[in-house]
Amino acid sequence: MPLDYSKWDALELSDDSDIEVHPNVDKRSFIRAKQNQIHMERARRKNEIETLKYERIAWRCVHQALLLQYCRALGRDGVQLFFKRITTANHQAQEVFLKDVRETYGKIKVRTAEINKQRAAEKAEGGGVGVEQIQLHAVEPGTKLSFRVPDKDSQDPQEQAAWAIFESFTPEMKKAIQSGNLDEVNKVLGELNVAEAEELVGKFNEAGILNLEEGVIDTTTEEGKAEFEKRKEMGSKFADDPE
C-alpha cells in the first residue's frame, strides 16, 4: 500500500531536532524512510495476528469436531463417562483425546499447505487464475476414500432414502461411484462449480456413500451386503464400549 508523504512535506524539522543523521543525508527523506519502515513492520505484525487468529479458530473446529465424533462412536450411554474422563486433570483419556486433536490438526495443516502449494503451481502453469474446484482427498495417512452403493432392494427406510439420493445423481456421477475410483469421482466433481460440488458431497455424507475404507462396498451384490453388515456390527460393538 503506497504511503501519502504529502503530510510530511510541511513537517517542522525543529520538532525532530533530536534526530541525528549524517550530513550528507537529507533529514526529510530519512524521516520518510523511517515512517515507511514503521508502516511495513505494522503490516507484518497485523498479518501475524490474523494468521494466529485463524489458527486458533481452526484448532477449535478440530477440537469440537472430534468431540462430536467421539460422542457418536461411544453412543448415548458412553458420552457422560467420556466427558467426565477428559475433564479430569491428568486422566489418560484426556491425554489420548488431546493427542488426537494435535495430530489431526497437524495433518490438516500440512495437507492445507500442500494444497496451497499445488494450487500456486497450477496457477503459475496456467498463466492466470485457475477455476476453484472441490476435490476429495483422504487426510489420514495409509487410508483412502471409498464409495458405497446403497442397496436398491433394501426394506430399511434409511437405506431406501440413501438409494433415492443415489438415483438423483447424474449418470456420470453414478458410474464414477460404482467404479469405486476416487479419481473418477473427482473428475466429475471438477466439472461442477463449487456450490454444486459442495451440495453433492453433502449428499454423499447424508446417504452414507462416502467412507474412509479400503475398496468399494457395492450392496447390490451378496458379497457387498455381507461386508456392509459385518462393518455395521463392528461399529456397534465399538459404540457399546465406553472405554
- pLDDT, one tens digit per residue, over 57-88 is 889 998 998 888 888 888 777 888 888 888 88
Averaged confidence pLDDT in the chain: 76
pLDDT at 175: 93
Mean pLDDT value across residues 109-118: 85
What pLDDT band is residue 241 in, cutting at 50, 70 and 90?
very low
Q: How far apart are CA 167 and CA 150, in angstroms?
A: 10
pLDDT computed for residue 238 by the predictor = 41
The proportion of the chain whose per-residue pLDDT surpasses 90, expressed as a percent, equals 11
Burial label for 27, CB within 10 Å (0-12, 13-18, 19+), is: middle
**Residues 16-69: tens digit of each pLDDT:** 545 565 565 566 666 777 777 887 888 788 777 777 788 888 899 989 988 888
DSSP, residue by residue, 92-112: HHHHHHHHHHHHHHHHHHHHH
Instruction: Output the nine-digit C-alpha cell for 163.
Output: 438409494
pLDDT digits (tens, 9 = 90+) for 136-179: 876 655 567 888 899 988 888 889 999 999 999 999 999 999 99
Q: Cα–Cα distances in Å, from 45 out to 37, 41, 53, 205?
A: 12, 6, 12, 40
Q: What does the pLDDT read at residue 43? A: 79
Cell (9 digits) for 145? 476414500
Torsion of CA 221, 226, 231, 237, to 10 degrees: 150
Instruction: Provide the angle, in degrees to the nearest 10, between the axes of the packed helices 157-167 and 171-179.
Output: 120
> Would you place residue 13 in the very low, low, confident or very high pLDDT band (cuts 50, 70, 90)?
very low
Report which of 184, 146, 181, 148 is spatially closest to residue 163, judged by C-alpha positions: 148
The grid coordinates listed for 127 are 498463466
Instruction: Please give the pLDDT value at position 14.
Output: 44
The Cβ of residue 217 has, within 10 Å, a number of other Cβ atoms equal to 23
More confident residue, 169 or 231: 169
